[in-house]
Each structure stands twice: as C-alpha cells, then as structure tokens.
Structure 1
C-alpha cells in the first residue's frame, strides 16, 4: 500500500519500496497527467545517492515513457531542490525526486512535485494514492529497459550549472570573496558536495569537506543534520579554526550549522538570523511564514520590524502556499528546511547555506557574535524536541486519548488557547507553547516545546511524556 506523508512516499526497501510499487505509482501519475491533459508538458525526475535511487528512477521512467509522457531525467545524483527548480524553469507539469530525505538508510521513497516546483498538495497525493490502490501490475504500460535510452520520450540532462548559476546570481559574491572565510562542509554522504563546494569555491572560500564518499549506509548514522549527528563537523570546525561548518541532509533540502565556537546553531536560530538579515541587511520587506512547531522568536522579530508572522500546519507545502499568498520574505520549519522569496516554493539547503555565508561575510562578524546580538535585541527562546516510537496498538490508544478525546495533562501554567488543527498545540500566556502530533514521515509521535529557558521547555515536554507513558517513562 502506498501512503503519502508530509514529505512524500517513504517506505522500507524490499518491504513496500519495491519495483512493483514504484511502477504502480508511475502508472498512476501517468494516468493523472493524461486525465488532466498535461502530458505534453512532461515531467522531471531526479535521484539521490541512496541504495536503489538511480535504479528506481529508471523503473519509473520505463513506465512514464511507456505511457507517452516526456521525461527529463537528471542523470547524476543531485539535490532534491534542483529537481524542483528544473520543474519550475522548464514549465513541467510534475516532478519526481527519488529520495527518502533524512530517513534511515533502509528507507527510500518518492517526492512528488507539481507545477512551479511545489510539493504536491495533500489533495493531489490522496487522489494519486487512491487511484494507485485500484491498479494491479497488469495495468502497467512500460517500455523494456533496452528501449528507454533511445526513446523519443526521454531526455537526459547531466548539467547542474543552471541551478547553481541561479543561486550564485542571488548572492553577493564580491562580499564573500573579500571575507576570506574558512568553511567545513559535511554533506553527510549525500548529494550536496558538488553543488555547495562549487558555489563556495567560486566565492573564494577555503573549503574542507568531510563525509563525502558514496556510502548508502550514511556512515551508520541518520543523514539528518541534527545536533547529535554533527560531532565530526564540530570537531573539524574547532580543529581548523573555521568560521563555520555547514551540514546538509541526504537530499540537501535541509541544513544544520556549527558556528565558529563549535556550537550547534539550530534550524530555528538559522531561520531567525536569515529573516532579520533579509530585512535589515538586504532591505527587503514582508512577513515570515513558519509551521506550528517552529520558534516563536520569528514572531518577535517580525513584530519588531512592523511585519507579521504567519503560522501554518506541518508540511512544507503549507509554508510555500502561504508565502505565495502573503508575498512573505522567508518561510521555514524547525526541522531545517527553509526557502526565500523569488527562489523555489520548497526547501533548499544549498541556497540557504549560500545566503548564510553571505550574511557572515557582509557583517564582518563571527556567526556566534551575530546570534548573541540577535538575542540581545529580541530575547531568547529555547526549544525541546522529542520523538517516541509506538506499536500499532499504542498508536490507536494515543490517537483516541489525545486527538479524539482531547485528553491533556495539567501543565501547571496558564493556558491561553489550544488548537487541534494539526495535532495539538497548546499556547501558554507566558509565551511558551507545546505541540503533540504524529510524524508524517516516520512512525513516531513528536513532542515540541518552547520556553524562555531550557528547563522550562524540558518541563513541558516531560509532563507530556510522563502523563502518556511515552518512551517507557
């Protein structure tokens, strides 16, 4: 069964991620394109460095071409944002990136993009999954593998220059060149090295790369640029006296940062820094968009500059949609994804990294100093994140108690309001908050909390975990 979450369809290789299911999904998408009358506009497909990603891309191409769908295939592992950018630039009707993003190595999957390079809306993926469920292997029309390479419906693209030039054109390369920055890059065995290294070297940065080899097991770690995964990057930054370290996840749509002092800079902190930089350093005006599990420090920065912070459900498609509606400057989420007005309507860790490097270069200050000054202006908020696995029976219990019966613990602080729009979010009168929701990409329930101190955020999170006996507590 193919089920889409907030980050596309992801499944365990050999379990649900199989040749048969990839072919069924490709057939379903081809059927949809014919029904919509958009076949002539074609589709773009890319893949990352995961096990079977390149092979699975050609499984899908065989079916798409067999249905008369023109396909542009990027024939090298590339960042997922490049697929989105190519869909937007070529006017393609759809795009597919074969990737499971930051999931563990035993997963793979497909992300679906629609016109303009947008993450497919829930309505689209629900309809697509429902249609695929009605198909069986006999319904699949495809070309034989030896027929695909010479097919009139398949165009191979090896160059990544157009995408890189688009990002370089947005940056103040002169300022970066004269800053003589020393940067350590950690692609986490994913696809970011060529893209980011090309941009940074073009700007005359000194670049050291770690964890760059092709390793489908991602060095035995999660290919997610979270604090716990970045010890090698932190050590490299400190050993070299680098100005900063940049890490990207497996398909390079998210990033994590280590500052000049070896401190992990969370995606929340990066997002707040970049928003204020775009307002004050580049003179842009406009609101900011965040999901419900992202820092409210953005609200403070927006208010200080006479702007608005818009809150949306989890899932980047909601962020990009609200950005288009409000002409927002930037939008992002606490898991590390962000995008900037005028680029693509989706996450791009490559572009975000370039913009952060520009910010440091133009300021003439260290990254640690820039964030310390931001806290002086707007105060500090600290986030606590926790994820808990469950059995199917336990999931049913949590669904019933929390989301059906609206059971919550006593938090010991005054509640301002509660939203049940996307999971549960509790807003407290002291500017703290807490969310509880099932992940859309992994079989876990997530608890996010934010307060003015780490102790306060941890207390909120622990209250939920204790009350519902999460994680064996």
Structure 2
C-alpha cells in the first residue's frame, strides 16, 4: 500500500479518506518527527474541521502538543513551521473537487517533507507499532490566531512594494472560495493595487467554481477582468499554493507561459532550474537562452522539492523552479509554492518591464498544449491502461523516458502518459508548435489507453 502520492495523500471523503485514517497519519507523523509540538492548518473544505479534529486527536494521542492555526493557505502554515521550528500538518486537497480532502506534511524547516521522510512516516503508519501514549502524557491543544496576519506581513516586506504601487495596477482576483480568500485580497491591496474580486468568500462548497484554476473554471474571472478593465487576473486553487493568470484582454495565460516568463526573468548563466517530466519546450528554450541547466523529476511538488534540496547540497543555485500548473517555487525566498507570492513576482515583472501581461508572455506562446484525462474505477483498469501505454511507447519512433510514466520526444513535439499521483486518472499530455500535431499525438495515446480500458470490466 502506497499512502503518499506526488503531493501528500488525498481521497474522497467517506470512502478511502476517513477521520480514522487521518488520525493515524497525523499520529504516525508526530511519532516519526519526535516533536514536542505540531502546527495544524486546514483549507475551507466542508470536511476540513472534521479532519483537523481527527488530526489533532492523533497528534495529541501520540503525546505531542498541537497548535491549531485554523483556515490558512498552505504557504501560511509553511511559514509558521519555519519561523517556529515546528513540523506541521495541513488538511487540504489543494485543487481537487469538493468531495476530496487530503493531508500534506511539513518539516520543522518549513519545507514539505521530501520523499525519504514521507517514506519513513508511511513505514510507521503501516507498521504494527502503536503511537498512543498513556493518559497522563496526552498532548495539549491551543489555537493560534495570527498566522495569516504574520504571513501577509512578511510577504509585504519581501516584495518590491514601491515598484508595484507605482505601476498603478488593477488586479482582478479569484481565490476560488479557498483559503486564499482570507489573505490575498488584503495582500494585493497592501501592495498598492486596486483589487476587485470574484469567488472571494471562503466556502467549502465552492459554489462559484471548482478549486482547480484551469481555464474552463475561470469564466467569472475573465468577465471580471473585462468589466473592471483590469491589468491582470489572478486565480488560486483551494489552498492558495498556485497562481494562474488572465491577461488584460480576458484571455487565459497558459501556466507554462507564465512559468517561462518568470524563469527568463530570474535565471542566469550557470543557474539550475527544476521542473517535472511534463515540462514545456518553452522552459527548455528559456534555459538554453540563459545558459541555465534544467533538471527533470517525476511530477509533483514533493519530487521537485527533493531535487532542489539535493542541488543545494551540491552547491547549485536554484532561483526558480516549478510546474506549468501555476505552482512556481522561488527557493531563495522559501521552498514552497505560494500563490500570492508567485503573483506578486509576476506583478513585479509587469512593473519592471512597464508592459502588459500579453506582452510579457508573448515570447512563450508558440507551443500548443493538450491535456486529457482517463478516469478508472479499478486497479485492473489502471493496469490495463499502463500496459497499453508501455506498448504504445515501445512501438513509437522515439526513445521513451520512463522517469515518470512514458514521455516520447519527437524534436518538434512530445507526448507523455502517466498515472496521476492525486486522483484515479491516467493523464495524457502533448505539446507542439503545430496545434494539429499536439492534438493528434494526444488523441492517438488516449485511444490506445481507452481501448485497453474498455476491455476490462469496472
């Protein structure tokens, strides 16, 4: 049994994801850390309080005190863990639909646990040993009221407030009813922006849109940009560790394009950046132009974090890293994906260039991305699709990269097939400068997988 995927552990509430499971995960983490106290936060999901209570029960039953931060963005919890030198548990399913919830684990260095430490927690969780202490050693619980205030204040001290304020930007903000609704509106106003909002009421039912900030979910934000004549639209996911953008015309900006623009601004000769195996050609081109190195990992923030820490130990400079889903790291600030900080760095770029969003991302819009998902209900369906992916890759006129799934590079285009680390889906990615080429590669891979799945009963 594998508990932790590419970004913590997640599941459908009431099915595989239960209070008992969360309590056990939290207790195993607390016992593995050998900590005296643990910070605990959650996003806005309707199940969040229940699972935070379960996590608190597991932590205190393991003899560890718990400090309850309430509803916070993941980067707010991460900041608290670093400053207070305590590990943390975040109850969130990030971008997943409302029926999901999950757990992310953060070390006392303020960094989500790397692969090796997650494996230690998983081993403890799956062992027969107990993590419960005697009645007179049960941990205490207390509430922390100002974590979000401190998080916003620190970001304001880190960003070039004068440059952003002088640019006179109007920001249309869509926190998607998630935890960022409690912090991002204030943050951008304090930066000197005029801020208009949509879906900015914390609500775990997510009535305005699903938590994932993909184009199909951002119609309200696009309309708001147009209605307010905003300079930029910014959207977060459920725990506000991602930021995606809409330009001044109301057009969606591909996450790969914004990642490339930010990377081009921050990478220099000899620097290294880290991305996942679904990396866009845009970032490859940026690295070549800058004389920077590109390191690839399996998909997921955990894997990127692990590789960045390895590169640090080797003395490498990693000023920026991330994936094309809006999850960008600025490791010199903090090794966390932080939606508000990502957006602030993008605003700095607009201010420094004295340019519009469309002008800033224009050099990185030459390639077309296609992403498709195939859901499965049983392990048999998953195995059939993965066997089909292996056969498809073996027959292709390209050498497969099997670091995470099967990536086929054709020079002018690439396609990647891999199982999701957070949902019961197999994902197909394709990219090319020719839209038809990208669509064809994605369709051919998808058809091979769909045919295999159709031969297996649910």
TM-score (norm 1): 0.88
Alignment of 1:65-84 (within 5 A): 65-75=60-70, 77-84=71-78
SS in 2 for 1:14: coil
CA shift at 1:472, angstroms?
A: 7.0
The 8 Å contact of residues 6 and 315 in structure 1, kept in 2 or not, is answered as yes
The equivalences for 1:132-147 within 5 A come to: 132-134=125-127, 140-141=132-133
Answer yes or no: is the 8 Å Cα contact 1:180–1:204 preserved in 2.
Answer: yes
Equivalent-residue separation in structure 2 for 1:249 and 1:336 (angstroms):
9
**Which of 337, 351, 354 is 1:347 aligned to?**
337
Q: In the TM superposition, what are the counterparts of 1:141-156 in structure 2 within 5 Å? A: 141=133, 152=140, 154=142, 156=144
Question: 1:419 maps to what in 2?
Answer: 401
CA contact (8 A) 1:287 1:328 kept: yes
Is 2:300 aligned against 1:315? yes
Aligned partners of 2:389 and 2:449 also within 8 Å = no
1:337 aligns with 2:327: yes
Contact 1:285 1:329 in 2 (8 A): no
| Equivalent position of 2:366 in the other structure | 380
The structural deviation recorded for 1:446 is 0.3
1:267 Cα deviation after fit: 1.2
Question: Any idea what the Cα deviations from partners look like across 1:68-116, whole Å, max 9, x if unmatched?
Answer: 32333213x1101111222222222x21100111111111111112242
Tell me what 2:358 maps to. Answer: 368
1:140 offset after TM fit, Å?
Answer: 4.2
Distance 1:409 1:220 in 2: 44
CA–CA distance in structure 1, aligned partners of residues 140 and 266 of structure 2: 45
CA–CA separation in structure 1 for the residues paired with 2:46 and 2:132: 24
SS at match of 1:5: coil
Tell me the residue number matched to 2:47: 52
**Alpha-carbon separation, structure 1, partners of 2:355 and 2:108:** 40
1:447 counterpart = 2:420: no
How far 1:337 moved relative to its partner?
0.7
Q: Does 1:110 align with 2:95?
A: no
Q: Aligned residue for 2:85?
A: 91
**Structure 2: how far apart are the matches of 1:161 and 1:60?**
24
Q: For this pair of structures, how many residues does the alignment match?
A: 448
Per the alignment, residue 39 of structure 1 pairs with 35
Q: 1:306 maps to which residue? A: 291
Q: Which residue pairs with 1:193 in the alignment?
A: 181
Task: For residue 401 of structure 1, report the CA deviation from its aligned partner.
Answer: 3.4
Pairing 1:124–2:117 present? yes
What is the CA-CA distance between 1:45 and the residue it aligns to?
1.3
For 1:429, the equivalent position in structure 2 comes to 411
CA deviation vs aligned residue, 1:127-168 (integer Å, no higher than 9, x gap): 4234323459x9645879xx99xx756463433233222222
CA deviations over 1:315-352 (Å, ceiling 9, x no partner):
21222233331321111112221111312222111110
Instruction: Give distance in 2, aligned partners of 1:441 and 1:20.
Output: 20
Structure-to-structure mapping, 1:129-278, within 5 angstroms: 129-134=122-127, 140-141=132-133, 152=140, 154=142, 156-219=144-207, 221-278=209-266
- Shift of the alpha carbon at 1:407? 3.8
Alignment-derived partner of residue 396 in structure 1: 383
Question: CA 1:139 to 1:116, structure 2 compared with 1: closer, same or farther past 3 Å?
Answer: closer
Query: Residues of 2 paired with 1:143 and 1:43: CA distance?
Result: 19
| 8 Å contact from structure 1 (residues 10, 110) kept in 2 | yes
Q: Give the deviation of 1:2 after TM superposition.
A: 7.6
Separation of aligned partners in 1, 2:342 and 2:257: 13
Query: The residue matched to 1:408 in structure 2 has which SS?
Result: helix
Contact 1:291 1:314 in 2 (8 A): yes
Contact map agreement 1:259 1:265 (CA 8 A) in 2: yes
Q: Which moved more, 1:316-325 or 1:224-233?
A: 316-325
Match in the other structure for 2:4: 4
What SS class does the counterpart of residue 118 from structure 1 fall into?
A: coil
Contact 1:100–1:109 (CA under 8 A) maintained in structure 2: yes
Describe the SS at the equivalent of 2:337.
coil
Determine the C-alpha separation between the residues in 2 that align with 1:179 and 1:472: 55
Q: Is the aligned partner of 1:61 residue 2:91?
A: no
CA distance 1:173–1:220, shift in 2 (3 Å):
closer
SS in 1 for 2:68: strand
Change beyond 3 A, Cα 1:204–1:390: same
Alpha-carbon contact 2:270-2:293 (below 8 Å) kept: no
Unaligned residue ranges in structure 1 (runs of 5+): none
Q: For structure 2, list consecutive stretches of 5 or more residues without a partner in the other structure.
A: none
Contact 1:254 1:347 in 2 (8 A): yes
Mapped partners of 1:50, 1:153: distance in 2: 22
The answer to whether the 8 A contact 1:257-1:265 is kept is: yes
Q: Deviation per CA, 1:39-80, whole angstroms, max 9, x where unpaired?
A: 23x3221111001212322322233223332333213x1101
